[in-house]
Structure 1
Amino acid sequence: MPQPESQNQPIAGRYELLEEIDHGGMGSVWRGYDAVLDRPVAVKLIRQQSVTSPELAEEFVKRFKREARITARIQHPGVPQVYDAVLDESYEQLFLVMELVDGISLRSYVQPTQLLPVSWAAAVTAQVATVLSHAHAVPVIHRDLKPGNILISHDGTVKVLDFGIAAILRSDVTKLTATGTPLGTHQYMAPEQVRGGRTSPQTDLYALGCILHELLSGRLLFTADSEYMVMYQHVNAAPTPLRQLRPDVPTALEDLVLHLLRKAPEARPADVQEVYERLEPFLPSPGAQVSAPGQAGPAGVPDPTSIFRKPYAPRARAGQQSAAGQAAESATAQPAPPVPDAVRAAIKVAYSRSDALLEDDRFAQAAEVIGEVIEPAALALGSESRQVLELRMNRAAIWLLGGDYRAALPELDALSDAYARTSGPSSERARACRAQAARCRAELGQVTDALAALRDVLDVVRSVDGDVSEEAVELRRDIGMLFLAQGRTTEAHNILEPLHADLCLVLGPDDEMTSEIAEVLAVIRLDLDGPPS
């Protein structure tokens, strides 16, 4: 699809299109940026060819508005949030602004030579069934369920995409969706869709049966030389029972797939809740380990069973990376190192763009701009070269400014180690990174660790620059304030009182920091934690 003209002009004055990440029958999906809320977004650009006349434009706009509103009503974490719907007055540009999902397509899980464990296939299908139960209650039917519309996020949560082509179950839906061809993808299309008949929640159940069959067998339900012949088979051909393709599939699971794939909608399971109940015996129980024989899935992709084995588990600790993320990084193609002059020019442009974004408080995008040049710079100049470490420091500082302490902390820890190796553990840069990492820990509630780290850094600073250097003063203040936050007022007083005396001598009693410390000491002397007098 050609690059949209609006990529260089923010949509509705706020949404920027950065790069195309997918495309399909209805249009393309772009990675975008919301300049108002400083966050990445997904922007679905509806194909301009879909609107070919003023009459069709009016009908299309009605459909588009309805779909955007209906999609927004499906309140479930497995459905990306709809943030905005933007319609160009000329009807030439139609946009749906949504949550940007970071995940891996279910298509990556289907490998004929490496079949998924039964529990993995059941876990994906059960999560999709859960999403559909919320959608069907609206009521919304998806009508285009397929592996390409399903993502597995890095914590194993399934996200069902593209409910935008779904339509509310109402009597006037037919005239809004009459485009001359059935909606859906032919490999997963229910017989009633092929015939152009009325769709229902059972239409989604048929597609779910196609997907489960494919996950367990590693192959499409039906294949043929033409799209017409595939659709003919969906209407007339009997599916191959799973156990003929894979003998270790449990009989009950084979029966469920055959039930989902019945030709008549009313012959399929009553609802998606029944499907989930029949999948439950094949789902791992809470606390189950992945080490059970046959349960380990493919490497390099998120584990969809994890949310059943560890329900409501906390997010991974800062600095920990999932195996999927590590595999994705290692699988990333390494470009040929560019000439250093070109990289240095790219660094200069990145700094300039980042500075401009920071002027508008666009922290997330400013950090992303710096991040884009770090890898090529590391390849050309060395991972611990001065320029690369400065780029990483700059990005970490932006994360700090934007309040993204979880992103900044592991990077600052890594930078501290890098500067300790290259410049020495007591070098100014190594100390600065350790101190900023400690401040991140304090913001994240790790106050004890933060205090220990700040006191260690202060010991080094005192030995190098004395007790009243700018760095030492800031560290003493931060330590005193953290003691105070912990309710350790005596220790806070013992740190802040000599600090105040030093500041009066060095900066004077009217200095801003001197006054700040004096006010804190006055509050400490009130002894608010003691018994009332």
Structure 2
Amino acid sequence: MPTQGDRIRGRYELTRPISSGGMGQVWQGYDIVLDRQVAVKVIRPGVAADRLEAEELAARFRREARITARIEHPGVPAVFDADIDGDHEQLYLVMQLVRGVPLGDLIEEEGPLPVATAVAVAAQICTVLSYAHAVPVIHRDLKPGNVMVAEDGSVKVLDFGIAAVLRTDTTRLTATGRRLGTCAYMPPEQVRGGVAGPASDLYSLGCMLYELLTGHRVFPGDSDYEVMDHHVRTAPQPVRDLRPDVPAALDDLVLHLLAKNPEERPAGAQDVHDRLVPFLPAPDPAAADALPPPGGLPDPTRPYRRPLAPRPRPDGAAPRRPAPARPAQPDHQAPSLPTLPSVEELEDELAEVAEHVEILIEEERYAQAAGVLDEVLDRAVPCLGAAHRDVVELRLSRAVALSLGGDHRRALPEYRELADHFAAAEGPDSERALLCRQQAALCRAQLGESTVALREFQELLTRVAPVRGDRDQMALELRLEIGRLLLYTGRVAEARRRLGAVHADLAAALGPGDPLTREAADLLARLGRDRA
């Protein structure tokens, strides 16, 4: 691991360690180019077993960092840089340095927090999650250690996307007993090895809100496996049993967040926020305002008591005179509309764009590829029509770029429309129609629409398997996704049966070392440990 004074890529000097954990270290650093302090997260080199795995890990790391960088909210520290360092052979993420107190320290020092304070923390986290889930980005490891309360009381959620990076070798990780997420805040579907969705983050939020209100974790235990077993099988004790002054409606919300089945939890972070609003402090712009003293604890209710307030003045500072009124701005004439290009010019441009986008996708510049395609399709569709052959090919490229870049919300309707187009033009069972329907179902699964995704995978399998056989590549992929979603939705016995069958067929068709075979084996191994 790096030491104090090291420079990452000759630019980011590590000045002092901030924290260390299972995934690596966080350092306070200095950007010598832009003359500013930053935070540098360094992933341990031991995470990857060999060079090929390290390259895969680095690619996932860059991809997750790019997706995380699209969360535009002040509650998420800005991402400045992400790459693999050639000298140290380590992954690093350079981001905004947040000055404040970890939420875990606030709980440890204060114990059960006042209701308004606990709710203010949870409501701010909900606001962040609403923006993240819209990208969509799932945190997967939400816990007090990944939440900071800044000096002004604003809440910052750290380490979005970091947990997803470590899925590169799930077999090796689970063989040593490690799982993504911290077990005290881990939702049942992640304990079982299922796909994490927006509802998974809401469960972890429920665990934190429970702890903020009671001073205790939802499920204590002598070992990680005991705690994880509680998450899967044990009903939580109501908050009001431990703290009767908590309003009944807030207790109901916590229990709703802690539902075992992800589809029985609140519909989204916005809904949770709406149910927290009645317990937030009312705005009071005239109230006294000051930052906490050195070493003091910040107040998470301040953003609600003093919404959009400026930074508090230093003690004794006098108010300044109001700024002079801004002069009136001159009127500007509306620009003339651009002339539409000819059909021939557009078709030539589409051919050039197709080549350019292919290179961008190969270089994993997915957001840039989607942006280029947005621009050209906005002009091409009105002129040539959405069903023009060249337009369709670019729409398909855009769907691919969006899904590879993690923007499943935008990719989903594009895949669905393209599936309908290919079904009408080439036949309902044509390769491209089926592939687009498969990708649409995968987008739904990533968006947490598990029941609909499961139904769409099952419908696809009834089309594919009778014609191609159970060991066809697409059939195998569909069967694996069906087993995973059954596990995610708590249908454990059926998931075990289906995963056992598809694992045997994957091993026979693709070999035991194929990534799909290893993935099925890992899911079965998790099921075996849970049964034990």
* TM-score, reference length from structure 2: 0.55
Residues 322-378 of structure 1: CA distance to partner in whole angstroms, max 9, x if unpaired? xxxxxxxxxxxxxxxxxxxxxxxxxxxxxxxxxxxxxxxxxxxxxxxxxxxxxxxxx
For 1:287, which of 275, 284, 288 is the aligned residue? 284
Indicate conservation of the 8 Å contact 1:140/1:166, yes or no: no
Superposition deviation, residue 251 in structure 1:
0.3
1:303 equivalent in alignment to 2:299? yes
Indicate conservation of the 8 Å contact 2:125/2:155, yes or no: yes
For 1:157, which of 154, 158, 162 is the aligned residue? 154
**What is the alpha-carbon distance in structure 2 between the residues aligned to residue 183 and residue 86 of structure 1?**
22
Q: Give the structure 1 partner of residue 32 of structure 2.
A: 35
Q: Give the structure 2 partner of residue 93 of structure 1.
A: 90
Indicate conservation of the 8 Å contact 1:67/1:166, yes or no: no
Residues 245-281 of structure 1: CA distance to partner in whole angstroms, max 9, x if unpaired? 0000000000000000000000111111110000000
2:113 alignment partner AA: L
Indicate conservation of the 8 Å contact 2:219/2:231, yes or no: yes
For 2:117, which of 97, 109, 120 is the aligned residue? 120
C-alpha distance 55-91 of structure 1, shift in aligned 2 (>3 A): farther
**What is the alpha-carbon distance in structure 2 between the residues aligned to residue 70 and residue 82 of structure 1?**
10
C-alpha distance 20-35 of structure 1, shift in aligned 2 (>3 A): same
Counting only pairs closer than 5 Å after superposition, residues 190-209 of structure 1 correspond to structure 2 as 190-209=187-206
1:129 equivalent in alignment to 2:126? yes
The 10-residue stretch of structure 1 (53-62 or 148-157) with the greater mean CA deviation from structure 2: 53-62
- Higher RCO structure (Cα 8 Å, ≥6 apart): 2
Counting only pairs closer than 5 Å after superposition, residues 161-172 of structure 1 correspond to structure 2 as 161-165=158-162, 167=164
**What is the alpha-carbon distance in structure 2 between the residues aligned to residue 447 and residue 138 of structure 1?**
40
For 1:18, which of 2, 15, 20 is the aligned residue? 15
Indicate conservation of the 8 Å contact 1:133/1:273, yes or no: yes
Indicate conservation of the 8 Å contact 2:8/2:85, yes or no: no
Residues 93-135 of structure 1: CA distance to partner in whole angstroms, max 9, x if unpaired? 2111000000001112224974211000000000000000000
2:64 alignment partner AA: E
**What is the alpha-carbon distance in structure 2 between the residues aligned to residue 82 and residue 254 of structure 1?**
36
Residues 434-468 of structure 1: CA distance to partner in whole angstroms, max 9, x if unpaired? xxxxxxx9xx97799xxxxxxxxxxxxxxxxxxxx
Counting only pairs closer than 5 Å after superposition, residues 92-491 of structure 1 correspond to structure 2 as 92-111=89-108, 114-165=111-162, 167=164, 179-180=173-174, 181-287=178-284, 300-318=296-314
**What is the alpha-carbon distance in structure 1 between the residues aligned to residue 134 and residue 163 of structure 2?**
13
Residues 21-52 of structure 1: CA distance to partner in whole angstroms, max 9, x if unpaired? 01122111000001111110000011111122
**What is the alpha-carbon distance in structure 2 between the residues aligned to residue 265 and residue 290 of structure 1?**
41
C-alpha distance 288-114 of structure 1, shift in aligned 2 (>3 A): farther
Counting only pairs closer than 5 Å after superposition, residues 512-527 of structure 1 correspond to structure 2 as none
Indicate conservation of the 8 Å contact 1:122/1:279, yes or no: yes
**What is the alpha-carbon distance in structure 2 between the residues aligned to residue 174 and residue 44 of structure 1?**
18
Unaligned runs of 5+ in 1: 292-298, 321-409, 411-440, 449-533
The 10-residue stretch of structure 1 (174-183 or 207-216) with the greater mean CA deviation from structure 2: 174-183
Indicate conservation of the 8 Å contact 1:42/1:98, yes or no: yes
Q: Give the structure 2 partner of residue 79 of structure 1.
A: 76
**What is the alpha-carbon distance in structure 1 between the residues aligned to residue 242 and residue 138 of structure 2?**
30
C-alpha distance 189-256 of structure 1, shift in aligned 2 (>3 A): same
Superposition deviation, residue 288 in structure 1:
7.6
Superposition deviation, residue 166 in structure 1:
5.0
Q: Give the structure 2 partner of residue 367 of structure 1.
A: none
1:141 alignment partner AA: I
**What is the alpha-carbon distance in structure 2 between the residues aligned to residue 112 and residue 106 of structure 1?**
10
What is the alpha-carbon root mean square deviation over aligned residues?
A: 2.8
**What is the alpha-carbon distance in structure 2 between the residues aligned to residue 166 and residue 175 of structure 1?**
10
Larger radius of gyration: 1
Give the 3-state SS of the residue equivalent to 2:17 in structure 1. Answer: strand
**What is the alpha-carbon distance in structure 1 between the residues aligned to residue 109 and residue 95 of structure 2?**
33
**What is the alpha-carbon distance in structure 1 between the residues aligned to residue 279 and residue 142 of structure 2?**
22
C-alpha distance 123-67 of structure 1, shift in aligned 2 (>3 A): same
**What is the alpha-carbon distance in structure 2 between the residues aligned to residue 246 and residue 59 of structure 1?**
48
Indicate conservation of the 8 Å contact 2:9/2:86, yes or no: no
Give the 3-state SS of the residue equivalent to 1:8 in structure 2. Answer: coil
**What is the alpha-carbon distance in structure 2 between the residues aligned to residue 185 and residue 68 of structure 1?**
21
**What is the alpha-carbon distance in structure 2 between the residues aligned to residue 143 and residue 175 of structure 1?**
15
Give the 3-state SS of the residue equivalent to 1:62 in structure 2. Answer: helix
Superposition deviation, residue 86 in structure 1:
2.8
Superposition deviation, residue 10 in structure 1:
2.0
C-alpha distance 447-124 of structure 1, shift in aligned 2 (>3 A): closer
Q: Give the structure 2 partner of residue 488 of structure 1.
A: none
Indicate conservation of the 8 Å contact 1:112/1:217, yes or no: no
C-alpha distance 41-112 of structure 1, shift in aligned 2 (>3 A): closer
Give the 3-state SS of the residue equivalent to 1:43 in structure 2. Answer: strand
**What is the alpha-carbon distance in structure 2 between the residues aligned to residue 134 and residue 58 of structure 1?**
30
Superposition deviation, residue 290 in structure 1:
8.1
Indicate conservation of the 8 Å contact 1:144/1:184, yes or no: yes
Give the 3-state SS of the residue equivalent to 1:258 in structure 2. Answer: helix
* TM-score, reference length from structure 1: 0.55
C-alpha distance 113-315 of structure 1, shift in aligned 2 (>3 A): closer
Superposition deviation, residue 56 in structure 1:
1.0
Provide the aligned length of Structure 1 versus Structure 2.
Answer: 314
C-alpha distance 28-113 of structure 1, shift in aligned 2 (>3 A): closer
Indicate conservation of the 8 Å contact 1:110/1:219, yes or no: no
Report % sequence identity. Answer: 57
**What is the alpha-carbon distance in structure 1 between the residues aligned to residue 228 and residue 18 of structure 2?**
29
